[in-house]
Amino acid sequence: MKNGDNDLLRVEIGGLIKDQRENPIVLLKGVESDDVLPIWIGHAEALSIDLQLQGKSFDRPLTHDLLKTAVESLGATVVRVAVTDLRDNVFFAKIFIQRGSEVFAIDARPSDSIALAVRTRSPIFVAKSVFENHKNALENDQNLRESSDEELRRYLKDLDPGEF
């Protein structure tokens, strides 16, 4: 990996859950660490991710299926996606696409990046700074102090993928 990629941690989808208001959350957990990162996403993106994880599909392609087909039609492949930043409680991501010897980084929402990664079986990464910023936000927000990473880890252990 290049360009500061050693500051990225490999993650996998720990599950999809809903908060008290029925808003979907994708849980990313570290492959080689206990880090857990919850990212609130839209309902359409959650459905897209969930269907793909379950091996189901619609009769017509969803937006992320279309994006995968477009990338492949151009002779390119998705090599990885990365959640690269967290600013003002907004997550930022990049999709890395390779065509020949060139790699292009495209700005994207984390939810779209993850939905595409699931379809292309591409690795998902999170910048170490995003995990740190998330931890700092939890520590600084009185309302979130009780929703610690430890609670998320415990939840992940008992997570039933069919719950979503």
Residue 132 confidence (pLDDT) = 87
Res. 145: pLDDT tops 50 = no
More reliable by pLDDT, 145 or 58: 58
Q: Does domain 5-159 have CATH number 3.10.690.10?
A: yes
What would the DSSP string read from start to end of 25-72? EEEEEESSS--EEEEE--HHHHHHHHHHHTT---SS--HHHHHHHHHH
Residue 157 confidence (pLDDT) = 55
Task: Give me the residue spans of the domains in the chain.
Answer: 5-159
